[in-house]
Amino acid sequence: MIEQIEVLIRLQSISNELIKLKRNKEYRYNDITDFKKKVKEKEMVVEEGEKRFKSFQVKMDNKELDLKGIESEIDKFKVQLNQIKNNKEYSALKSEIGLKEADKSVIEDEVLKMMDGLEEERNKVNELRNDVKQDEIKLAQLTKAIEDDVKRIDDEIKTVIARRDGLVETLEKDPKHHFQRLIKSTDGVAVAEVVNNACQRCFFTVTPQTINQLLSEKELVFCLSCGRILYMNNKDVVFPK
């Protein structure tokens, strides 16, 4: 039985390699997911910036309409001014024109300021959009690199599985059956070491009878809690009470 246990321990270490490889593969895919999420967030910021830019544009268009309105009013007053014969009416209209001119100059200043603001907003949006474009290029490169990595990992997984299956074939019928059964039914860990009287997989304290069975090395011993095949490297045991 001792050789069988040794093979089982080696098999478990191969299975651990497999678990690690599969986990690496998952991590690599997570990198893509994380990056995509970041790009998505930036895209949303761009969208918001575009919305802001558009509403700013509408506000400015309205201001420009106001300006045109005042200008046409002033033009109309000026035509009227030429037709007035009465002094009093003339100066009243003149001062009315003066007020409109003042309004016009205020709106002109506002439009100029808004133009600057709009320019700034446009630059901001363009910068963000370029950033997203760069990220999309990076994402494509990252995806390619990760796909290559995953292919390499898959090849390695195939090699390790072949190595494991070859070794499984060297087992006797009973240990083979239990190993294959446990590998499938657990998280890929079929064999667990007992250290300080505890199964190192589920940390259940084994019974003195289990310790005796392990010491005698005559049969396969299973954890009474998690069901895995147990082994013990350190035989200087203090029996559990």
What distance in Å separates the CA atoms of residue 49 and residue 54, rounded to the nearest whole number? 9
The span of 114-122, 191-199, 212-220, 233-241 binding Zn ion (CB under 5 A) equals: 191-199
Strand partners, 194: 199
Q: Which is nearer to Zn ion, 27 or 203 (CB)?
A: 203
Kindly state the DSSP code that residue 178 receives in the 8-state scheme: H
Q: Which is nearer to Zn ion, 153 or 211 (CB)?
A: 211
Least distance from Zn ion to the Cβ atom of residue 16, Å:
16
- Interface with Zn ion (CB under 5 A), residue from 46, 114, 199, 211: 199
The span of 12-20, 116-124, 160-168, 198-206 binding Zn ion (CB under 5 A) equals: 198-206
204 and 197 in contact (C-beta within 8 Å)? no
- Draw the binding track, 140-179, toward Zn ion (x: CB under 5 A; -: no contact): ----------------------------------------
Dihedral angle over CA of 175, 178, 182, 183, nearest 10: 50
What distance in Å separates the CA atoms of residue 232 and residue 195, rounded to the nearest whole number? 7
- Draw the binding track, 208-227, toward Zn ion (x: CB under 5 A; -: no contact): ---------------x-xx-
For residue 228, the tally of other CB atoms under 10 A from its CB is: 23
What distance in Å separates the CA atoms of residue 3 and residue 9, rounded to the nearest whole number? 10
Terminal Cα-to-Cα distance of the chain (whole angstroms): 27
Q: Which two tokens stand for residue 127?
A: 């910068």
Size of the site for Zn ion (CB under 5 A): 7
Q: Which is nearer to Zn ion, 77 or 204 (CB)?
A: 204
Q: Which is nearer to Zn ion, 57 or 225 (CB)?
A: 225
Residues forming the site for Zn ion (CB under 5 A): 199, 201-202, 204, 223, 225-226
